[in-house]
Chain A
Amino acid sequence: MNTRGLRSQLKDSVPVTGMGPQVGAYGVQDTLRSGFSSVKNELLPSHALELSEKNFQLNQDKMNFSNLRNIQGLHAPLKLQMEYRAARQIQRLPFLQSSHLALDTLKGNDESISFEDILNDPAQSEMMGEPHIMVEYKLGMM
């Protein structure tokens, strides 16, 4: 239950997942990782499409898997998701940029090109994470 935002007390508001402060361990705002919080920024999405775009791939996958389950039975999405999980593990260390080639081929992204491939390309990003901290976080030591 998120007591921080006034969201839940707004009249006519539908509780929306995805907005709200990022809670870390101990259930409070994780200032170290996600910066200072501001109620005004978290109350409403800053664009009508923000939430739908953030969750777009997730929702597409959910829809496709549930269709597949209805058509072919439970085994089909199970096998596919097992393959996705295996392909997702093929990556380099956390602060290095990995190509995700197997995952892209499975998802069919190798045959399409769109905004995400040109803008905000992680290979061209100007900032790099601090290697030690990222590996420690990945190993659960942080």
Chain B
Amino acid sequence: SNTEIHGCGNQENTFPCRRNAVLEGKLSELGYSSPKARKTGTTIAGIVFKDGVILRADTRATDDMVVADKNCMKIHYIAPNIYCCGAGVAADAEVTTQMSSNVELHSLSRGCPPLVTVTRQLKRMLFRYQGHIGSSLIVGGVDVTGAHLYSVYLHGSYDKLPFLTMGSGAGAAISIFEDRYRQPGSEMLKKLVRDAIAAGIFCDLGSGSNVDLCVITQAGVQYLRGYDQPAQKGKKEGQYKYKPGTTAVLTKTVTPLPLDIVDESIQLMDTQ
């Protein structure tokens, strides 16, 4: 599963599906290239602390080398006590997490689902589609057995760990976790997650903009969108515009344009 750390930014679903190949051929005849799937180029991280789970994600979606969305939502709702962050192809992450309706149907007959149920459904679906659904997910939540954090990779493997990162910025984020993680003691861990995402934002081109935060505890969920803005545009130090009159005038030529009045019409304005 270590290959997936680099995988999310580079995942190209370029299997020559016949329909796509035909469309691409037709478009290139006309001189266009076919649209590429928009990836999220993400940093997402999750950590288990004493009372629950913290999930954090950046908010940038990239389209090759262009930022497609400066403020997209990467933390998706699955159940009242379970949230999921998605990395990889943005549309796939969005659709995968629409399994929340499936979870709701399941909970009508079985009650609030434990996290393993959600993880199992996700990994079964991703395995069934053999990696063609290009989304890697971090699922976190609090259920009757406690707080858990799972990651599901795009081919269907999964991991259960106290801290997890995913996405193209995962390398930077996991290095912060690996260096400074100690046993769960709540305040220090919140700062750790913040630093990990900030590392992902600063060290990875595919992540940026704001940070979304989601804290899930037994008592409830706090979903704070745009919680942190580490990469604010700096203020300019001085004035860089030229004052009027900086450039000396050497010559001046005035050419009057003779204009004839062709038509004159008067419109009364109602000034009541």
Contacts and interface: CB of A to CB of B under 8 A. Distances in A.
Nearest to B110: A111
Interface SS of chain B: helix
Interface in B83-141: 99, 101-102, 105-106, 109, 125, 128-130, 132
Contacts of B252: none
B15 interface: yes
Contact-size category for B = 10 to 19
B132 A48 contact: yes
A106 to B, nearest CB: 16
Contacts of B130: 48-49, 52
Contacts of A47: 15, 17-19
Interface string A112-126: 111000000000000
A101 B19 CA distance: 35
A111 B19 contact: no
Given A48-B130, A49-B129, A113 B105 contact: yes
A46 B19 contact: yes
B17 A46 contact: yes
B102 A112 contact: yes
Nearest to A114: B102
A46 B18 contact: yes
A4 B99 CA distance: 43
Interface in A59-112: 111-112
A113 B107 CA distance: 12
Given A112-B102, A113-B101, A114-B102, A49 B132 contact: yes
A137 interface: no
A111 B108 CA distance: 9
Residue of B18, B99, B109, B132 with highest tally of chain A CB at under 10 A: B18
Nearest to B22: A46
Contact of B128 (A46, A56, A111): A56
Interface residues of A, number: 10
A116 to B, nearest CB: 12
Nearest to B17: A47
Contacts of A112: 102, 105-106
B19 A113 contact: no
Nearest to B121: A112
Contacts of B19: 46-47
A10 B125 CA distance: 33
A111 B106 contact: yes
A111 B103 CA distance: 9
A47 B17 CA distance: 5
Nearest to A56: B128
A113 B101 CA distance: 7
A111 B132 contact: no
A111 B15 contact: no
Interface in A28-58: 46-49, 52, 56
Contacts of A113: 101-102, 105
A48 B14 CA distance: 11
A137 B109 CA distance: 41
A47 B16 CA distance: 7
Given A46-B19, A52-B128, 19 more contacts: A46-B17, A46-B18, A47-B17, A47-B19, A48-B17, A48-B130, A48-B132, A49-B129, A49-B130, A49-B132, A56-B128, A111-B106, A112-B102, A112-B105, A112-B106, A113-B102, A113-B105, A114-B99, A114-B102
Ranked nearest first, the 3 interchain pairs of A and B with the lowest CB-CB distance are A46-B18, A47-B17, A113-B102
16 contacts: A47-B15, A47-B17, A47-B18, A47-B19, A48-B15, A48-B130, A48-B132, A49-B130, A49-B132, A52-B128, A56-B128, A111-B105, A111-B109, A113-B105, A114-B99, A114-B102
Interface of B: 15, 17-19, 99, 101-102, 105-106, 109, 125, 128-130, 132
Interface of A: 46-49, 52, 56, 111-114
